[in-house]
Amino acid sequence: MDRITLRMDNDEDLRELFSWIRDDSYLRANSGIGMTRVEQAPDAMGASFEAIKIVIESGFALANLAIAIATYRQARRSREPLTITYNEVTITMPASEAADGEAVLAALEKARS
């Protein structure tokens, strides 16, 4: 079972991405998807921010997640960087790459290794 966290600086964009992912019938049926508040480090400014938490169990779910993220990014104007934490590995994707399904899948697979 793998745990993935998705973050963006804009909470509204993140909530829209959450809805987009949750609307994917395969991901909804085959993974755990939720929103959570993540506390920042004690020395950081601000209280907390939101993150999408996803629990997946298969490579097929991982590929579906990559497609969902990329199609969301293609359909929306927001082009904020996307931070992906896969288990304990964190990767920040520039906005230009986060709309490319192959680049998202490559980043997820890199973090998975």
Q: Report the mean per-residue pLDDT for the chain.
A: 85
By residue range, what is the domain housing residue 107? 2-112
Q: How far apart are CA 54 and CA 65, in angstroms?
A: 9
Beta-carbon contacts of residue 8 (< 8 Å; ≥ 6 apart): 14, 17, 78, 80, 81, 82, 83
At 34-80, the pLDDT tens digits run 998 876 655 555 545 789 999 998 888 999 999 998 888 888 866 78
**What is the C-alpha to C-alpha distance for residues 54 and 95, in angstroms, rounded to an integer?**
21
With pLDDT > 90 as the criterion, what percentage of the chain qualifies?
A: 35
Tell me: the pLDDT tens digits for 70-104?
888 888 866 788 899 988 888 888 877 777 788 88
Strand partners, 90: 85
Q: Which pTM value belongs to this model?
A: 0.84
- Residue 77, class by beta-carbon neighbours within 10 Å (0-12 exposed, 13-18 middle, 19+ buried)? exposed
Mean per-residue pLDDT, 24-41: 86
Q: Are 99 and 67 in contact (CB under 8 A)?
A: no
User: How far is it, in rounded angstroms, from Cα 37 to Cα 77?
Assistant: 25
CATH (domain of 63): 3.30.70
Residue 46 is which amino acid? Answer: G
Tell me how many domains the chain contains: 1
- How much is the pLDDT for 46? 52
